[in-house]
Structure 1
Amino acid sequence: MMALGQEERGEAEAARAAYQLVIESGHPDYAPAAALNLGCLLEVHGELEGARAAYQAAVDFDHPEESPLAEFDLGCLLGRMGDVEGEVAAYRRVIESGHAGHGPKAAYNLGYVLREQGDHDGARAAYQISIDSGHPRWAPVAAFNLGVMLSDLDDRAGAEAAYRFAVESGHPHYAPDAGYNLGLCYERWGDVHAARAAYQAVVDSGHPKADDAREAMDDLPRL
């Protein structure tokens, strides 16, 4: 697409005009992609209302790939603009689209936003959607964040299950982090043996968190 080349060369106005021409063509594949790219371009340049309109145009094309991504980007933009209700609605629509990649990502974002709003039940349900998707990137981070939230809420069974999912996912970052947090939880719950095992797994991973896990393990009471 010519507009992409213009955008890469810093020719924003020319790229904008080219994207608009493609959008107006109504091409079933290129038009929604152009609307999405125009939204990204306008957002980068601080034209948030224009970006909002462009993302919405991409959504309205109802393209199986471009529209869910545009809806996700619209949700992020609305959050940036302080429209939490619109952000939440956009993420829900992405989830409802059933897109295998964008749905789990939107569910994670939805969980985070609802948690920030104090809606713990809604956040838990959203995080669980992402976890249940089994997505290799978003399921582990959703499980980790669910574990943090449930630990803060003193839900031992829920926190343990969420952290264990993240650990067992083998994610290079969130598995060791979840293992470390799980060790902290076991300490708080008085289960020294389980805490030691959780910390040891983090140490064995070689992750940067290993030093913290080793120190925490050394501080455990000897049984």
Structure 2
Amino acid sequence: MNYQHILTNAEVEEELRLSALQERPANFSGKILPFLILQERTLDTGLNLEDAIVLGSIFLEKTEIKGPLNLTRASIKDSFYCGLARIKGDVILKSANVKGVVNLMGTKIEGSLDFSGLTLSGFLSLAKIDVKDDVNLRAIRIIDAYHVGLIVKGDAYLREAIIAGSITFENSIIEGSLDMLKVYIGGACNLKDAKVANTLVLKDSTIKGKLDLEGTEYKELIK
């Protein structure tokens, strides 16, 4: 595939600088980036990557983002790493496509998380995440990833996650297991019509609202 203009690292840094001066989110909407490496940094504004194409991975580990993180309909050709970060706004990967894993383990989000319609290859980790609002994983698709001599199962990990609001997995497809061991959910947990190919783990979970398992498919339930 031929791409038009691929942003250089200097152009990315210049947009980050200008957005901070102008007190607006850094705008990479519709742009093509070779990768995005911003780990262990403090960004004074949000990041807008709506409809962006990232040819490699995104690295935001231990990064503080003082605003929302928007990757609606983004296409990421490798993995998305955002573990142990702090996001002072919503995190959105709505209808995005990630060719690798998505890892937000231990991240604190001072807003909501919307991954509805996301497709990813490999695992999704929201283990030990702390979300101050709702988590939307409706119609997410987590598929097995195949590498030379290796299969990365399409598992979803929410072990020990803290979610102040509600969570939905309605109509989602998970080709591996869904691990919600010791999760805390302040609202409802909607798993209606979700398809989990292997094990659904709800052991030692705290769900303050309704648990909806109507039409949920799984091989084994550990509760």
Fold-level similarity (TM above 0.5): no
Range into which the TM-score falls when normalised by the shorter chain: 0.3 to 0.5
TM-score (ref. length: structure 1): 0.36
Higher relative contact order (CA 8 A, sep 6+): 2
TM-score (ref. length: structure 2): 0.36
The structure that has the greater radius of gyration is: 1
Q: Name the structure with the higher strand share.
A: 2
